């Protein structure tokens, strides 16, 4: 079939360094932003889009690993739209899949067969996904998982970890900012709200802990287990420094949640389909009770899944836990997910994503050494993080305070000025259509940026 290889080969043939064209002008974007600010709050539709350089930018097209802004700058894309474009932008197989169902209707307020096809596929790939429901995004899928856990255990609180992002809704919008002096002691953190307007009392729904410390989790549970319905964790702390779990941490969570009869929830919104087709639970061999998938599932179309073991999901099947949504499972969304997963199922795809990611990580480490810089490159390969820091390893959220933020930011901006687009906080994503040539070009541009930074005072 060759869904994955053909566009990637085409991309290799087409790719020339001059494809990345940077004019360093954002005049048209600036004008659109001014116009946009009059009608869209802050000029954007998601908070994170504000943080581009030199301001929120407007884009007009994207194909494969390239994205073009309205001023004609073409970037080699490592943001992959915050993760979803794992098979590249505008993948022809995904678009064909969507097109083939569009003319037959879009949304039926009823079931259609493709939903079963998708659920069967996820059931085959994801170790713990015996039953599932589809939603529109990661944030609502997370809330569904918490609701199921509460209903089954008849307990109210959950344990979550500092620096883990589980969406923007009230009970998880805490503990995401570094505010020295206000964070409390490491062993009993104070959760700092991320935003105004959070419902009073939502901080009573959780206990927050530092990540990667199983002894502290166990001590906390020894005291509080009769209040706790679930532990929710990103299996890799992708949102704050791309920190891998310490050996046996995830297994430790599995054992302790089993002992107390509470749910272990993996938030696989980033790790799902990226670390393996079956997510981080397959990669690390630890089966949660419930897990949540979104980003890389459907090439940017809004679909997510809450999946789990039958004994937990049965509450939804029996309507004891309500899960609903007018737009859930619209035909195009399911088709986009099927198309994306079919590309990812091509043999060797994940091996390739890992290989390219590791090549890029090692290349960045090499040029950092060559230029005498302290760039810390940390992660798995399919996604990783860069920032300047004297530590050899970031282990938990509080360690992020060691990053030299202004310099890390200037590195990302310097890369952007050389046509390499990376998420502002230093997160890089690899797709199945990146090639060795793209990776080596990015390393070259990183070296150039590092040399420039060397001569600055930072
Ligand atoms: C780990 C994790 N969980 C949940 C979410 C929320 O997903 P969404 O933005 O689709 O609501 C995100 C988004 O970045 C995420 O990274």
The token pair that represents 368 in the structure block: 């950092």
Cite the beta strand spans of 10-81 per DSSP E: 59-63, 66-69, 74-77
Pairwise CA distance, residues 21 & 198, whole Å: 43
Ligand 1 close to Cβ of residue 301 (< 6 A): no
Helix (H) or strand (E) holding 317: helix 310-317
Pairwise CA distance, residues 38 & 375, whole Å: 40
CA–centroid distance, 138 to ligand 1, in Å, is 5
Pairwise CA distance, residues 91 & 85, whole Å: 9
Identify whether the C-beta of residue 323 lies closer than 8 Å to the C-beta of residue 316.
Answer: yes
Ligand 1 close to Cβ of residue 138 (< 6 A): yes
Choice from 44, 161, 166, 303 to test ligand 1 binding pocket (greatest atom count within 8 A of CB):
166
Ligand 1 close to Cβ of residue 328 (< 6 A): no
CA–centroid distance, 205 to ligand 1, in Å, is 19
Helix (H) or strand (E) holding 308: strand 304-308
326-365 in b/e form (b: 16+ CB < 10 A) is eebbbbbbbbbbbbbbbbbbbeebbebbbebbbbbbebbe
Identify whether the C-beta of residue 87 lies closer than 8 Å to the C-beta of residue 299.
Answer: yes
DSSP 419: T
Name, in order, each residue with C-beta under 8 angstroms of 369's C-beta and a sequence gap of 6 or more: none
Q: Which residues pair with 420 in a beta bridge?
A: 76
Which pLDDT value is given to residue 1?
44
Name, in order, each residue with C-beta under 8 angstroms of 205's C-beta and a sequence gap of 6 or more: 156, 157, 158, 171
Q: Comparing C-alpha atoms, which of 269, 206, 187 is closest to residue 234?
A: 269
Q: Which residues pair with 266 in a beta bridge?
A: 233, 291
Instruction: Tell the residue number behind the tokens 């299996």, with chain if given.
Output: 235
CA–centroid distance, 136 to ligand 1, in Å, is 11
* Residue count of the chain: 458
Pairwise CA distance, residues 90 & 88, whole Å: 7
Choice from 173, 270, 275, 304 to test ligand 1 binding pocket (greatest atom count within 8 A of CB):
270
Which pLDDT value is given to residue 3?
57
DSSP 394: -
Nearest residue (by CA) to ligand 1, atom 7, is 138
Phi, psi of 272 (to 5 degrees): -60, 130
Identify whether the C-beta of residue 262 lies closer than 8 Å to the C-beta of residue 225.
Answer: yes
Ligand 1 close to Cβ of residue 425 (< 6 A): no
Assign residue 284 a region: left if phi > 0, alpha if psi is -120 to 50, beta otherwise?
alpha
* Residue pLDDT tens, the chain, 458 long: 455 444 554 444 444 544 778 888 999 999 999 999 999 999 999 999 998 889 999 999 999 999 999 999 999 999 999 999 999 999 999 999 999 999 999 999 999 999 999 999 999 999 999 999 999 999 999 999 999 999 999 999 999 999 999 999 999 999 999 887 889 999 999 989 999 999 999 999 999 999 999 999 999 999 999 999 999 999 999 999 999 999 999 999 999 999 999 999 999 999 999 999 999 999 999 999 999 999 999 999 999 999 999 999 999 999 999 999 999 999 999 999 999 999 999 999 999 999 999 999 999 999 999 999 999 999 999 999 999 999 999 999 999 999 999 999 999 999 999 999 999 999 999 999 999 999 999 999 999 999 999 877 66
Domain ranges of the chain: 114-344
Q: How far is CA 211 from CA 61, 115, 242, in A?
A: 39, 36, 12
Pairwise CA distance, residues 38 & 48, whole Å: 19
Ligand 1 close to Cβ of residue 237 (< 6 A): no
CA–centroid distance, 51 to ligand 1, in Å, is 17
Name, in order, each residue with C-beta under 8 angstroms of 257's C-beta and a sequence gap of 6 or more: 230, 231, 263, 264, 289
CATH of domain 114-344: 3.40.640.10
Q: Comparing C-alpha atoms, which of 171, 166, 162 is closest to residue 139?
A: 166
Ligand 1 close to Cβ of residue 166 (< 6 A): yes
Which pLDDT value is given to residue 16?
52
Pairwise CA distance, residues 259 & 276, whole Å: 28
The token pair that represents 449 in the structure block: 């940026």
Identify whether the C-beta of residue 131 lies closer than 8 Å to the C-beta of residue 317.
Answer: yes
Choice from 138, 236, 290, 302 to test ligand 1 binding pocket (greatest atom count within 8 A of CB):
138
Choice from 167, 174, 233 to test ligand 1 binding pocket (greatest atom count within 8 A of CB):
167
Q: How far is CA 387 from CA 312, 373, 395, in A?
A: 40, 11, 14
């Amino acid at each position: 079939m060759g869904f994955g290889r053909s566009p990637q080969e085409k991309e290799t043939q087409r790719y020339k360094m001059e494809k990345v064209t940077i004019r360093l002008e954002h005049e048209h974007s600036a004008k659109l932003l001014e116009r946009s600010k009059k009608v869209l709050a802050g000029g954007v539709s998601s908070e994170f889009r504000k943080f581009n350089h030199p301001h929120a930018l407007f884009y007009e097209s994207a194909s494969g690993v390239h994205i073009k802004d309205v001023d004609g700058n073409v970037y080699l894309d490592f943001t992959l739209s915050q993760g979803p474009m794992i098979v590249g932008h505008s993948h022809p197989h995904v678009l064909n899949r969507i097109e083939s169902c569009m003319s037959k209707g879009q949304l039926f307020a009823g079931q259609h067969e493709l939903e079963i096809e998708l659920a069967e596929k996820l059931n085959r790939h994801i170790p713990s996904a015996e039953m599932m429901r589809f939603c529109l995004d990661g944030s609502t899928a997370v809330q569904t998982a918490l609701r199921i856990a509460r209903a089954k255990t008849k307990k109210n609180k959950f344990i979550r970890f500092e620096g883990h992002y589980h969406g923007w809704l009230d009970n998880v919008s805490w503990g995401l900012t570094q505010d020295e002096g206000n964070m409390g002691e490491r062993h009993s953190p104070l959760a700092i709200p991320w935003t105004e307007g959070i419902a009073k009392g939502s901080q009573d729904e959780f206990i927050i802990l530092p990540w990667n410390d199983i002894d502290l989790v166990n001590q906390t549970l020894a005291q509080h287990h009769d209040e706790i319905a679930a532990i929710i964790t990103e299996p890799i702390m992708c949102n704050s420094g791309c920190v891998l779990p310490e050996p046996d941490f995830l297994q430790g969570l599995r054992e302790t949640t089993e002992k107390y009869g509470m749910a272990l929830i993996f938030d696989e919104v980033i790790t799902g389909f990226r670390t393996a087709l079956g997510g981080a639970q397959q990669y690390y061999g630890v089966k949660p009770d419930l897990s949540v998938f979104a980003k890389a599932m459907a090439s940017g179309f809004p679909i997510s899944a809450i999946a789990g073991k039958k004994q937990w999901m049965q509450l939804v099947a029996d309507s004891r836990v309500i899960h609903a949504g007018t737009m859930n499972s619209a035909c195009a969304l399911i088709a986009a997910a099927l198309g994306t997963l079919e590309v990812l199922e091509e043999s060797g795809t994940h091996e390739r994503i890992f290989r390219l990611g590791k090549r890029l990580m090692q290349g960045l480490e090499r040029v950092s050494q060559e230029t005498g810089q302290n760039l810390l490159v940390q992660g798995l390969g399919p996604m990783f993080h860069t920032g300047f820091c004297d530590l050899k390893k970031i282990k938990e959220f509080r360690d992020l305070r060691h990053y030299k933020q202004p310099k890390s930011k200037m590195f990302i901006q310097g890369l952007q000025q050389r046509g390499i687009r990376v998420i502002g906080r230093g997160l890089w994503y690899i797709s199945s259509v990146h090639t060795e040539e793209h990776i080596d070009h990015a390393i070259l541009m990183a070296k150039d940026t590092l040399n420039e930074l060397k001569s600055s005072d930072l």
